[in-house]
Amino acid sequence: MAQRNPLPNSPVLDETSLLAMSEADYMNAAQLAFFRARLLAMRAELERNARTTEEHLHGAIALPDPNDRATVEEEQALELRVRDRERKLLKKIGEALARIEDGSYGFCEETGEPIGLPRLLARPTASLSIEAQELRERLQSVQAL
């Protein structure tokens, strides 16, 4: 598995330029800079959402009507469930950023093979190739039986 550390001043690509690169360029400094920027933007958005939720929950007012109060409480519960999922995604983003720093980003944790740019574009936090992920899911479904 060829691993490269990113260069700090690498130009950031767009998706079209990224996909147009040859396989020999896989996880070069420019590609790593692209994914680092994407992951950092995702993290910033999730942190903004968390702050907004916190402000929203602290600014909630008590409503006298039980139906209105129930509606507000249900909306808050839904918002908190979404934030919980986002909290888990924040952890995965941190792990992906650490893989960029250690040079293992873009390579399957189980096989060491490239994960592939299309999969990383769809799921920048991916740590397994599609094949390894499918195998893991099949094993989990068999164990659940």
Q: Output the pLDDT for position 24.
A: 94
Query: Structural domain boundaries of the chain?
Result: 15-107
Q: What is the CATH number of domain 15-107?
A: 1.20.120.910
In the structure encoding, which two tokens stand for residue 10, read together? 């690498």
The per-residue pLDDT for range 77-97, each reduced to its tens digit, is 888 888 889 999 999 999 999
pTM: 0.76
As a whole number of angstroms, the distance between CA 71 and CA 133 comes to 39
SS3 107: strand
